[in-house]
Amino acid sequence: MIIEPESDSTGLSSLSKKINDFCMTICTINGSGSATANTTLLRALFHMGIPVSGKNIFPSNIKGLPTWFSIRVSDQGYLARVAHDDIVVQMNPMTFEKDIDYDIPGGVVFYADHIDVPIHRDDVIVYPMPVKDLIREAEVARDLRDYMENMVYVGIVSQILEIDLKFIKNALCMQFNQKPSVAESNFSVVKLASDWAKDNLEKKDRYSVETREHLTDYIMTDGNTAGALGAIYGGFQFCGWYPITPATSLAESLITFAPKLRKNPETGKNNFAIVQAEDELASIGMAVGAGWAGLRAMSSTSGPGISLMTEYMSLAYYAEIPLVLWDVQRVGPSTGLPTRTGQGDLNLTYYLGHGDTQQIVIIPSSVSECFNFGWKAFDLAEKFQTPVIILSDLDLGMNLWMTKRFEYPDQPINRGKILWEEDLEKLTYRWGRYLDVDQDGIPYRTVMGNTHPDAPYFTRGTGHDEFGNYSEDPGEWHQLLDRLKRKFENTREQLPAPKLRGMKGAKVGVLGMGSTESAIKEAQDNLKEKGILTDYLRVRALPLSREVGKFIQSHARNYVLELNRDGQLHQILSIDFCDLQERLISLSYVDGLPMTADWVIQSVLTKEKEYGSS
């Protein structure tokens, strides 16, 4: 029996074909096991050589609430979130009608036919899926049925979109690489559902996929895993951490990979320690102590954890203790939206600490930069003897992204100005921990293990002189703070430089940071088609390089795009380049979801009309 889609009479089947160009959102219930099915589809498309991204929008409870997984397929390589769906796979009766409203006219709806909710739209193609019947036919164990139901939509969607099942099988084998029998049982359900669709559904929609050249130089992973691997290759020796969404998986990746990659081959002993502390204060306190002792130390957290870590980070800044801190941002204030993304921690991290405190912040925009910054941050921290904060976010940290294979660090580890026994013996002056011998703001330090009698010093968070002695002398206090500021200012041209994506003849500038890059690049191309040429500068570090000021100066208008309410990057730019403030226009917005190119386009077009008419 052939089941014809209910909307066939509308003429939608005559719409032009779309190959490797759609967004598909799978609507399920949290805790139902859909993550495996969704990742299987995503990886299958990736192994077909098609540029693809996957974004998981999930609730902060453990089980029972709605969750969505969006897969964007684009031959052009546009992988940012889109605000509409071309295809909806509906497995959740709670959100059935609302989810279908996101489908565009001419779109597709796959739905589990046991969901007794009418579809009121006549401008979409509808494919019913007999999920319960197929699961019974597959003779799935009763306690596994709810989980295996997801493989039914994998099979039916694959048949309709023409996804070769060999790629599905490969993805399942990768997912269950230690359990081949589980992979096979899942694939048997996929095959059963695909065969049913072949025999019973007539394809009426315009969407399909085609295999492209294999992406041999690419892998698929998330930013948290990449950051952990970068830290390992950067020689990390200690991590103190406490679980918090969305940063937990970064520490968990360290726990997974460090025993394989940071083990002494001769003794068989680990060259690292990872400690789950009782809270955020303890975790950062451990990291500060380990950094003081000379270890390459780190921690990972999110906004609420950063708030709790403020006092220790102020101590590390003032006592000049190197460490790396990952902030995988979520949406605040307070507990906020733990499982949503945003860029609201920029000001918090940049000025983290009371008094005159400023921190180095580096901001990756891609999985590959998470890896690179993961190891470079240690070099920067030890070179400048200060904390370095890596500002990621949930979208980049937890979602799967295509990325080029990681490259092994191309330079030796830079431990900065460390003095050992032989170095102290050669000195012609009395060494002091905070003596600025080179007049660059960076003193020399000793670390645990140095047995020279002149190596010890007293570390304190109170006032001190150049030798670490307690002091409340106004002149010494002023001198110390000025040196710290000079050291901080000297980092501007030594941090990751901003990245320019220019267009010949552009008079409009666009500035952004972090994971918004994919949306901004796509918008930049679309604005060009509409006659608006833009240059895009991606800020990668604070404090800002002078190149950022030159970029602003060279454009009549500069739109600052970011995922927060108050335009925090715009604020910092306005402070650093106050003489250019009139050239800066803030375009900021946050709703917990990743930025879309459409929002960028509409926001810029609206402003351009204002300036065009003025």
C-beta of residue 312 within 8 angstroms of C-beta of residue 281: yes
pLDDT at 99 over 60: yes
If pLDDT is split at 50, 70 and 90, which confidence band does 415 have?
Answer: very high
Where exactly are the structural domains of the chain?
A: 8-208, 221-404, 417-496, 499-613
Residue 33 pLDDT level (bands cut at 50, 70, 90): confident
pLDDT category of residue 63 using cuts at 50, 70 and 90: confident
CATH of domain 221-404: 3.40.50.970
The pLDDT score that the predictor gives to residue 92 is 96
- Which tops the pLDDT comparison, 32 or 220? 220
CB 378 within 8 A of CB 414: no
The percentage of the chain sitting over the pLDDT mark of 90, rounded to a whole number, equals 92
User: Residue 31: what pLDDT?
Assistant: 85
pLDDT, averaged across the chain: 95
Average pLDDT value for residue range 577-589: 97
According to the CATH classification, is domain 499-613 in 3.60.10.10? no
- Whether residue 26 is predicted with pLDDT greater than 60 in this model: the reply is yes
CA torsion, points 333, 338, 339, 342, in degrees to nearest 10? Answer: 30
Q: What is the mean pLDDT of residues 532-558?
A: 98
pLDDT band at residue 457 using 50, 70 and 90 as cut-offs: very high
Q: What's domain 8-208's architecture? A: 3-Layer(aba) Sandwich (3.40)
Q: Which residue has the higher pLDDT, 139 or 482?
A: 482
Q: How confident is the model at residue 2 (pLDDT cuts 50, 70, 90)?
A: very low
Amino acid at 468: G
Each residue's pLDDT tens digit, 314-351 = 999 999 999 999 999 999 999 999 999 999 999 999 99
Backbone angles phi, psi at 129, to 5 degrees: -125, 115
Rg (CA), the chain: 27
154 vs 163: CA distance, rounded Å: 10
What pLDDT band is residue 1 in, cutting at 50, 70 and 90? very low
Per-residue pLDDT at 11 exceeds 80: no
The per-residue pLDDT for 157 is: 98
Tell me how far CA of residue 402 lies from CA of 19, 47, 73, 202, 221, in angstroms.
Answer: 19, 11, 12, 33, 7
* Mean pLDDT across 371-377: 98
pLDDT of residue 7: 46
Whether 499-613 and 221-404 are alike in CATH topology: the answer is yes
Residue 5 reports pLDDT greater than 60: no
Torsion of CA 168, 171, 173, 179, to 10 degrees: -110
What is the pLDDT, as a whole number, of residue 146? 80
Beta strands in 358-431 (DSSP E): 360-362, 387-393, 401-404
* 527 membership: H or E segment, kind and range: helix 517-529
Name residue, tokens 């009766």. Answer: 93
Lowest mean pLDDT among 172-181, 306-315, 592-601: 172-181
Q: Tell me, what's the pLDDT at 14?
A: 62
| Integer CA distances (angstroms), 355 to 311, 483, 587, 603, in order | 11, 15, 30, 37
Name the nearest CA neighbour of 523 among 612, 595, 452, 424. Answer: 595
| For residue 372, pLDDT beyond 50 | yes
Q: How sure is the predictor about 185, in pLDDT bands with cuts at 50, 70 and 90?
A: very high
Task: Give 216's pLDDT tier (boundaries 50, 70, 90).
Answer: confident
pLDDT confidence of residue 140: 82
Predicted pLDDT of residue 460: 94
Checking if the pLDDT of 612 tops 80, the result is no
